[in-house]
Structure 1
Amino acid sequence: MEDTQTMNTENIINDFILKDNKENDQPPIEQHHQHSTMEPTKETQKELIEETTNMLEKLKEVAANKDKAEKKRQVKNIENPFKNLTHRVTQLVYWENPTHSGAILAASLSFLIFTAYYSLFNTFFALAAILIGVNWIYVMGFKQFQSLINQKPVNPHEHLLVNKPWYIEREDAEKYLDSIIDTANFVLLEAQRIALVDDPMRTMRHVFMFYILWTLGTWISFRTLFGIGLILSFSTPITYQKNKEVVDEKLYQFNKFLRSHFDRGLTIAKQHSGGVYEKAKSFAVTKGLVNDDKTAKKEE
C-alpha cells in the first residue's frame, strides 16, 4: 500500500511539473509567433513607401493650390494707395486753405514756365557746383580762422557727419518699396480692368478721354497741356460746387446720350455679325463644305 501511495504521489508531482513547464514554455512561443507576424516583408515596405510618397505629393498639391488661392485673394483685396492722397488733393483743389492752395498753384506754374526756358539738367549741375563750391570756401575759411587763433582745425559740419549721416535705413527702404509695389499693382490691375472691358461704360469713358488727350496732344505741347490741366484742376471744382445742379443735369443728359448710342452700336454690330454668319453659312453650303439643315433632316 505504501508503495502504491508513493507511486501515486510521484505521478501527481510529475504531472504538476509537466503542466508548469508547458505554461512556462507557452508565452515565448506566442511572443515568437507575434513577432514573426509583426515583422513586415519587403513588399509591405514598398507599399508603405509608395503610399507615403503619394500622400506627400497630394499634400504638396493642396499647399500649392492654397498658395494660389491666397495670392488671388490678396490681389483682389489690394487697397487703393491713393486714398490718403485723395483727401489732400481734395483740400487743395477746393481751396479749403487758400494760402496753401495758392502757393502750390503758383509754384507749379513757375516750375512749368522755368522749365520752358531752362534745362533741368543744366540747372541741377549749376546749383550743385555753386552750392558745393560756396560750402568748400566756408569750411576752409573756418579751419584757417581756427588755426590763426591757435585752435585745432575742425570741420564746422563735424556733428552732422557723425550724428546725421546721409543714408537710407533698410527698414525704411523696405517700407517704401512695399508702398511702391502696392501702388504699381493697383495701377496695373485698374489698367487690366479697363483694357479687358470689365465695365463697358468705364472703358468707353477712358477711350473717350484718351481720344481727347490724343487730339489735344497733336495741337499743343505736353507742357502747355499740363499747365491747362493744372489750372482747370484748381478752378473746375469750385465752379462745379457753385453750379452743381446745372452741371449734374448736363452730365446726366450726356451720359444718357452716350449710353443710348453705345447700346445702338452694340445692336447694329450684332445684326451685322448675324448677317455675316448667314452669308458665310450659305457660301459654305453652296460649295459643299457643310450640309444644309434641310438636307440633314432628309438624310435622317
Structure 2
Amino acid sequence: NFPIDPFGYLRAKVQSLILWENRRNSALVLTGTLSFLILTQYYSLLQIAAGIFFFITGLNWVFVIIYKQGQKYIYGKAPEELTNPHRERLRYNGSYIPRDRIVHLAQLSVDVFEVFAQHITKLVLIENSWRSAVALVISFTVWTLAKYISTKYLIGLFLLSAFTGPRLYLQHQAVIDAHLQQLLQQTQSSTEKYGGLACAKAKELSHQATEFIK
C-alpha cells in the first residue's frame, strides 16, 4: 500500500521487475530503457521525435491512400464519396489527454521523489552509520568509474546487472552459496594464519625498536 508504506511499495515493484515475476513487464522495461540509451547515444531527442512522427505518419498516409483507391476502383465510388478510414476518430471532440490519469501520475511522481528525498536526507545526516558508509563507497565508485566510462554505458551496465544478477542467483543459489561459503572459510583461515604471523612479527619489531631506542 503506497500511502502507508511508500518505500516498501517501491521496493516490491522493483523486486518484481528485476526478478522477472511478470516477464512481459520486465522485458518491456529492460528493452525500452536500453533502446532509449542506444538511440540517444547516436541521435538527439529532436531527431528521434521527428523520426517517429515521419515513420508513423508515412505508414498511415500510404494506408489512407490505398484505402481510398480501393473504394474508387473496387466499389466504383466517385471522388466526393471517398471516405477516410479514420473518419470516426477525426470527428471525436473529446480530450485526447486523459487529465485524471495525468494528475494521478503527477501526484505519484511527486510522492516517489519525496520518498527518494527522505532516504537521501537520512543517508546524508547519518541516521544509520553502516548504510551511510555503504552509500559513500557506492558514490565514490560511481564517481571514479564516471571519469573513464560514459554515463550511458554505466546506466546500461547497471540495468543489465540488475535484471540478470538476482535472477541468476536465485536459479543457482545452492551452488553460489556453496562457493561463497568455501571462499569465506579460506579467507578466514588465511586471515587467522597470516594474521598471527604478522602480529608476532610486529611484536618482534616493536621489541627491537624499543631496545634500539634504549
Q: Normalising to structure 1: TM-score of the pair?
A: 0.46
Matched residue, 2:120: 191
Task: Give the unaligned 5+ runs of structure 2.
Answer: 188-214
Q: Is the 8 A contact 2:7 2:115 kept in 1?
A: no
The CA deviation at 1:141 is 5.6
Report the secondary structure of 1:219's partner residue.
Answer: coil
Q: Is the 8 A contact 1:79 1:186 kept in 2?
A: no
The CA deviation at 1:177 is 2.3
The CA deviation at 1:206 is 1.0
Q: 1:153 to 1:82 in 2, by over 3 A?
A: farther
Report the secondary structure of 1:149's partner residue.
Answer: coil
Q: Distance in 1 between matches of 2:138 and 2:68?
A: 62
Report the secondary structure of 2:81's partner residue.
Answer: coil
Matched residue, 2:165: 236
Matched residue, 2:106: 177
Aligned with 2:77 (options 123, 132, 149): 149
The CA deviation at 1:245 is 6.4
Q: Deviations over 1:220-268 (max 9, x none)?
A: 1112212221222123214544124665896xx9xxxxxxxxxxxxxxx
Q: 1:206 to 1:103 in 2, by over 3 A?
A: same
What value does the CA root-mean-square deviation take over the aligned residues?
Answer: 3.7
Q: 1:91 to 1:171 in 2, by over 3 A?
A: closer
Q: Normalising to structure 2: TM-score of the pair?
A: 0.61
Q: Deviations over 1:173-212 (max 9, x none)?
A: 3322221221122122222212222222222211111011
Q: Distance in 1 between matches of 2:114 and 2:141?
A: 26
Q: 1:84 to 1:117 in 2, by over 3 A?
A: same
Q: 1:136 to 1:81 in 2, by over 3 A?
A: farther
Matched residue, 1:122: 47
Q: Distance in 1 between matches of 2:32 and 2:128?
A: 38
Q: Is the 8 A contact 1:142 1:156 kept in 2?
A: yes
Q: Distance in 2 between matches of 1:144 and 1:158?
A: 16
Q: Distance in 1 between matches of 2:101 and 2:166?
A: 36
Of the structure 1 ranges 167-176 and 213-222, higher mean CA displacement relative to structure 2 is found in 167-176
Matched residue, 2:143: 214
Write the letter of the residue equivalent to 2:53.
A
Q: Distance in 2 between matches of 1:216 and 1:162?
A: 55
Q: 1:183 to 1:101 in 2, by over 3 A?
A: closer
Q: 1:95 to 1:244 in 2, by over 3 A?
A: farther
Greater Cα radius of gyration, structure 1 or 2: 1
**Relative CO higher for 1 or 2, CA cutoff 8 Å, sep ≥ 6?**
2
The answer as to 2:57 corresponding to 1:132 is yes
Q: 1:168 to 1:117 in 2, by over 3 A?
A: closer
The answer as to 2:129 corresponding to 1:200 is yes
The CA deviation at 1:139 is 3.4
Where do residues 13-162 of structure 1 align in structure 2 (5 Å cutoff)? 79-81=4-6, 83-96=8-21, 105=30, 108-139=33-64, 142-143=67-68, 149-150=77-78, 152-162=81-91
Matched residue, 2:196: none
